[in-house]
């Protein structure tokens, strides 16, 4: 108790001035300063994927199924792992920025680049030999071969992610999300034009969609990199430094915990799409479910903006030794995100029979998506809570603990329950998805319990100790 009593909470605690509405308004402004650009950027980025999938969907059911597996499972593997590992920067850069140790952000960025580029090299064989892997796992031969060819063309994005994702966290933690928003806005029309040119005009089919994605990701990475190291961040980027090679072991441990935590979440619904490949009519099953997952994924970009905003707000407040401010930020962010999820979930129910029209003209696929609309609405509702709680975990440095929670709730409960319902009770796609929703519900309840039981003064003390330890390593 004595150690907690000396935590230097900042003088202007929430509630000292004005009533609750004013406190909520002030916190919301700080939150949306990060959430707004982060949400916009993610919606536009995911919009690029929707554009590609919409063009591919007009080429035939098998092409759409192969592209969906390649982008959601194979590419999703590296994206999930690297996004998770890059989120270590949200903890360290966010707390360092809150503690006004700005110079350390550039050092952390370089450490993250080294680690993620090594991971990208290790993941490259998954892209190259994906066809053989899918055949070995029992997917139909033609679908596996098509997916393998597409995956090989997606390999460049694997290395771009290793540069871009840490850059995103680096800019985000110093409230420069507008840079990411501007670059995505600039790239989006280029992506649409390139996809039309390559897929429709030059008749390159699915490969044209993949090539246009490579071009778009390369442009985005180049622009953000030029800004960050070309003079746009003078306080936080001091050039390449040998300090990036110091204490890599501890950085790898936090990055690995972050990677396991978030990639288990991202892979969870990717596995759902993969399992549908074993259905009696795999192309129809994959098409219907991939459209639902695309819609749910597009909507979750809003809440991933809240994940980013919550992580930054929690890390900043803990870095400034303001435990009560971190707690209040958690409440405001969770309430706002859930309200948005409730509204959009209601829209999914209202327009249930029109959800697939923008992706396909196949009546069979449209009807299959319609039959899954209730599950889609429930998924969207859970998306309104779960990412925010993950943001709290990232900002607080709880990644290792949450990784264990994710393994138990997602894979031991969710996947197992889904498989039993799908094949044991013959509920097909619906059974898999119900099982997955059950796992997400368990994970959300556990994270909510951990957050409610948190001693925020103690977390502020831990953040202060962490910053001191990393500084002593210089």
Q: What is the pLDDT of residues 89-137, one digit of tens each?
A: 877 787 777 777 777 888 889 988 998 999 999 999 989 998 888 888 7
pLDDT on residue 15: 43
* Tens-digit pLDDT profile for residues 360-377: 778 888 888 888 889 999
Rounded to 5°, the CA angle 195-198-199 comes to: 75
* Tens-digit pLDDT profile for residues 6-65: 333 333 444 445 588 888 999 998 888 888 888 888 888 878 888 887 888 777 767 777
pLDDT on residue 364: 84
pLDDT on residue 282: 65
Cβ-contact 354, 318 below 8 angstroms: no
Stated pTM of the model: 0.72
Mean pLDDT, range 185-198, rounded to an integer: 93
Cβ-contact 276, 448 below 8 angstroms: no
* Tens-digit pLDDT profile for residues 134-163: 888 777 778 888 888 889 999 999 999 999
pLDDT on residue 295: 85
- Kindly indicate the confidence band of residue 283, based on its pLDDT and cuts at 50, 70 and 90: low
Closest CA to 432 of 286, 318, 316: 286
Closest CA to 273 of 149, 367, 139, 170: 139
Quote the CA–CA distance of 144 and 150 in Å, as a whole number: 10
pLDDT on residue 471: 57
pLDDT on residue 366: 87
Is it the case that residue 222 has pLDDT exceeding 90?
Answer: yes
Q: For residue 280, what is the DSSP state? A: S
Closest CA to 163 of 225, 209, 216, 108: 225
pLDDT on residue 4: 36
* Tens-digit pLDDT profile for residues 298-322: 788 888 888 888 888 888 888 788 8
Mean pLDDT, range 243-271, rounded to an integer: 74
Cβ-contact 89, 108 below 8 angstroms: yes
* Tokens of residue 410, six digits: 């997602």
Mean pLDDT, range 411-420, rounded to an integer: 88
Quote the CA–CA distance of 56 and 103 in Å, as a whole number: 45
Mean pLDDT, range 330-348, rounded to an integer: 93
Cβ-contact 369, 357 below 8 angstroms: no
Quick one: three-class SS letters along 184-234?
HHHHHHHHHHHHHHHHHHCCCHHHHHHHHHHHHHHHHHHHHHHHHHHHHCC
Quote the CA–CA distance of 354 and 430 in Å, as a whole number: 19
**Average pLDDT score, the chain:** 82
Quote the CA–CA distance of 17 and 218 in Å, as a whole number: 48
- Kindly indicate the confidence band of residue 3, based on its pLDDT and cuts at 50, 70 and 90: very low
* Contacts of residue 118, Cβ cutoff 8 Å, sequence gap at least 6: none
* Contacts of residue 267, Cβ cutoff 8 Å, sequence gap at least 6: 76, 77, 80
pLDDT on residue 117: 93
Is it the case that residue 262 has pLDDT exceeding 80?
Answer: no
Residue 280 burial (C-beta neighbours within 10 Å; 0-12, 13-18, 19+): exposed
Is it the case that residue 170 has pLDDT exceeding 70?
Answer: yes
- Kindly indicate the confidence band of residue 1, based on its pLDDT and cuts at 50, 70 and 90: very low
pLDDT more than 70, % of the chain? 91
pLDDT on residue 446: 93
Quick one: three-class SS letters along 359-379?
CCCCHHHHHHHHHCHHHHHHH
Mean pLDDT, range 238-244, rounded to an integer: 81
Helix, strand, coil % over all residues of the chain, rounded to 5: 85, 0, 15
pLDDT on residue 338: 94
DSSP 12-79: S-TTSSS-HHHHHHHHHHHHHHHHHHHHHHHHHHHHHHHHHHHHHHTT-HHHHHHHHHIIIIIHHHHH
- Kindly indicate the confidence band of residue 333, based on its pLDDT and cuts at 50, 70 and 90: very high
Is it the case that residue 215 has pLDDT exceeding 90?
Answer: yes
* Tens-digit pLDDT profile for residues 443-467: 999 999 999 988 888 888 877 776 6
Distances (CA, A) of 421 to 25, 36, 156, 273, 439: 45, 39, 38, 15, 13
Closest CA to 457 of 355, 318, 335, 287: 318
């Amino acid at each position: 108790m004595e150690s907690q009593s000396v935590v230097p909470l900042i003088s202007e605690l929430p509630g000292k001035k004005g009533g609750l509405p004013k406190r909520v308004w002030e916190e919301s402004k700080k939150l949306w300063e990060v959430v707004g650009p982060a949400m916009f950027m993610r919606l536009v980025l995911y919009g690029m994927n929707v554009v590609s999938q919409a063009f591919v969907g007009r080429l035939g059911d098998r092409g759409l199924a192969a592209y969906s597996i390649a982008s959601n499972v194979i590419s999703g593997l590296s994206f999930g792992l690297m996004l998770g590992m890059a989120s270590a920067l949200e903890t360290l850069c966010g707390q360092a920025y809150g503690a006004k140790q700005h110079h350390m952000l550039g050092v952390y960025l370089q450490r993250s680049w080294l680690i993620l580029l090594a991971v990208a090299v290790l993941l490259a064989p998954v892209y190259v030999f994906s066809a053989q892997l899918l055949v070995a796992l029992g997917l139909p031969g033609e679908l596996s071969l098509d997916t393998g060819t597409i995956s090989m063309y997606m390999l460049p994005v694997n290395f771009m992610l290793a540069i871009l994702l840490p850059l995103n966290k680096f800019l985000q933690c110093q409230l420069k999300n507008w840079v990411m928003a501007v670059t995505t806005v600039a790239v989006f029309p280029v992506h649409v034009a390139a996809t039309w040119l390559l897929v429709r005009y030059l008749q390159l089919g699915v490969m044209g969609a993949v090539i246009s994605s490579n071009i778009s990701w390369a442009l985005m990475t180049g622009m953000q990199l030029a800004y960050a190291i070309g003079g746009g961040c003078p306080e936080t980027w001091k050039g390449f430094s040998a300090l990036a090679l110091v204490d890599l072991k501890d950085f790898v441990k936090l990055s690995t915990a972050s990677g396991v935590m978030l990639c288990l979440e991202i892979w969870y619904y990717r596995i759902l799409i993969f399992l549908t490949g074993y259905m009696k009519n795999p192309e129809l099953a994959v098409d219907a479910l991939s459209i639902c997952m695309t819609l749910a994924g597009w909507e979750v970009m809003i809440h991933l903006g809240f994940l980013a905003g919550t992580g930054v707000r929690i890390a900043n407040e803990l870095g400034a030794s303001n435990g009560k401010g971190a707690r209040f930020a958690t409440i405001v962010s969770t309430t706002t995100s859930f309200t948005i999820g409730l509204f959009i979930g209601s829209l999914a129910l209202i327009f249930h029979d029109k959800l697939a029209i923008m992706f396909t003209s196949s009546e069979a696929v449209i009807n299959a998506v319609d039959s899954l609309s209730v599950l889609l609405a429930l998924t969207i509702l859970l998306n309104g809570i779960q990412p925010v709680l993950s943001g709290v975990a990232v900002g607080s440095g709880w990644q290792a603990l949450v990784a264990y929670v994710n393994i138990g709730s997602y894979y031991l409960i969710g996947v197992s329950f889904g498989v039993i319902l799908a094949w044991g009770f013959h509920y097909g796609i619906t059974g898999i998805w119900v099982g997955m929703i059950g796992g997400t519900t368990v994970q959300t309840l556990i994270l909510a319990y951990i957050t409610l039981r948190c001693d925020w003064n103690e977390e502020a003390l831990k953040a202060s100790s962490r910053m001191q330890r990393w500084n002593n390593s210089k």
